[in-house]
Amino acid sequence: MSKFARHTITTALPYANGPVHIGHLAGVYVPADIYVRYLRMKGEQVLFIGGSDEHGVPITIKAKNENTTPQAIVDRYHEMIKKSFAEFGISFDIYSRTSSPIHHEAASEFFTKLYEDGKLIEKTSMQYYDAEAHQFLADRYITGGCPHCNNEKAYGDQCEACGTSLSATDLINPRSALTGNVPVLRETKHWYLPLDQYEGWLKEWILEGHREDWKINVYGQCKSWIEQGLHPRAVTRDLDWGVKVPLQEAEGKVLYVWFDAPIGYISATKEWAEQTGKTWEEWWKADDTELLHFIGKDNIVFHCIIFPAMLKAEGSYILPENVPANEFLNLEGDKISTSRNWAVWLHEYLEEFKDKQDVLRYTLTSIAPETKDSDFTWADFQAKNNNELLAIFGNLVNRTVVLTHKYYGGVIPVAHAFSAEEQEMIEQIKTFPAKIGEALEKFRFREAQMELMNLARIGNKYLTDTEPWKKVKEDPERVETILHLSLQIAAALSVLSEPFLPFTSKRLKEMLNVTENRWEHGADMNLLSDGDKIGEPQYLFDKIEDKVIEEQEAKLQHVKAQALLEQTPAQEAKEDITYDDFQKMDLRICTVMEAEKIPKTKKLLKMKIDTGVDIREVVSGIAEYYAPEDMPGKQVLMLINLQPKEIKGVSSHGMVLMVENTNGELVVVEPGKTVKAGSSVS
């Protein structure tokens, strides 16, 4: 690390058409923030860059669906995302956005440089055009039949039913999502980055140059892409939302979002420089600057192949030293999906789990999908808090601080002679900054955090084994030594936990009056001075009860049920009947008076029902879903002129009408408001 004078750290720009979820956090933002905080504590110069990706077709589609403008959409979500990151402790130096004037200017300049240097090629192609809407159609604005699975609502770039990547021309019976018309193919001209011309250089730079230092999942994906052969990629498209192509002949065209988004890192740096009065070039053009991209696996190709090719073509920029991309985080055994709302959203977590940012940071780091997909469960979240943060880290600190106040009025006692075992433990503790730091510099965040917790385990076990509360009367000097040493371990934890648990670290430092914040101080077993006074004890963590977790699990189950409901196709309509046929049916809202389960049956309830014209008994197969005591007073939709039928010895006169939900459960059909029993349905 010493060979670099400064470090430019970027994080994937979250797409500003929705909030941030835990998959984003685990894959990108938590590891990036841990790494940046560690560098700062090492005394390194760091610029930590984030921002919102605000162009592209999904945003225009969302704006159209909500009858608003793309700018209104990105304004809403940019502020939500920015606020959530700040509250969660992601310590960006700048959080910018790609709809800003400074970004449009930077992206236009970058394109112009490549254009004027002859690094782009022009190509004409046939693309779908909506004659009524007077515009070319982006792939997401074209729907049709999937040629692979016959899904009739596939998009022009992908079928979400079978997951197959498509071209718009692959679709069967394509339609414009704007007007519903059949689109026509029309010729259009665009500018392309000739990636094939950089194939040889990329093989040398990545496959030979980064074989040893890039993560295996990153290197493997790059190798596969390069060996399949690279092709020119369009950098412009026909759209009215985005950075306008700075050419007179390019009216109605914008820069493709994949091209302008990574330039957002550069424009954000320029914005930061304007705000701080500093220069920006050294962060992107100096050979002694390290450039790192923290991303998820869906962005590997863009940051390892395409963006480096853009920088190489421009000619004056440094290239990334590393791209420590992570794989995907699943949720309760299922892939996180924003369209299905199957996610834990950061802004909701911050509202529902006040002051528990570090619990989520710790859990996500412990299961970080560093080389393969991993899974978040609420049960594991609870266990990580209760069994590790609370029972080990928090327990050590709380017992130590409470005993110090109880025996010495909060004054740090003097250490006397250390035993051989204590000397050995002290030497072991001094190795932790180096061990944790080495893991962080190799982007092994799970390992690094585990080592931090191992230090807490050492301290917790030491306090438990020495039992100062039993020795305080018979051997007071020994207790002074034990608590002195335990306090020093807690102080070391207050320093070394800062990258992982910044909110906890701050509170612990305040409690112990620790003022040092350099990484090497984590090995200093004299951070606290004899005779100094510490603050009052405070709980760093509290127990998360089962009820809290059950509520979150129930919330997800509701989401899953809603998604199934939306995906379940309605049954085909039955044959038409005449109005006279319908008139024969006497449908009424009736009121249940009594209900009891029919003995020796699993499904049957016997109910006494007020039909408005009489009181009658009806048998219904709903006992698995409704308890007898829940039925009295409930109003139900009932066919009252059905011929009586004997069921289990009961003459059932009528039929209570039900619907079946996606879980196969029967649900009573009730009126929206209470009505008089016997009210007709017509």
Tell me how far apart the alpha carbons of residues 340 and 191 are, in angstroms, rounded to a whole number. Answer: 36
List the Cα angle 213/499/281 in 5-degree steps: 60
Would you tell me how many other CB atoms lie within 10 Å of the CB of residue 679?
14
Q: Which pLDDT does position 580 carry in this prediction?
A: 86
Q: For helices 357-366 and 70-88, what crossing angle results, to 10°?
A: 90
Picking from 89, 87, 88, 63, the residue whose alpha carbon sits closest to that of residue 75 is: 63
Q: Which pLDDT does position 663 carry in this prediction?
A: 66
Picking from 82, 42, 37, 39, the residue whose alpha carbon sits closest to that of residue 505 is: 37
Q: Which residues of the chain have pLDDT under 50?
A: none
Q: Which residue has the tokens 């021309």?
A: 169
Contact 98, 261 (CB under 8 A): yes
Q: Which pLDDT does position 153 carry in this prediction?
A: 85
The amino acid present at 45, given as its one-letter code, is Q
CA dihedral 18, 23, 27, 33 (to 10 degrees): 70
Would you tell me how many other CB atoms lie within 10 Å of the CB of residue 231?
10
Q: DSSP per residue over 244-311, as a string?
A: BPSSGGGTTEEE-HHHHHHHHHHHHHHHHHHHHT--STHHHH-TTEEEEEE-BGGGHHIIIIIHHHHH
Residue 348's Cβ-count burial label (10 Å; 0-12, 13-18, 19+) is middle
| pTM score | 0.84
At residue 669, φ and ψ (nearest 5 deg) are -90, 115
Q: Which pLDDT does position 319 carry in this prediction?
A: 98
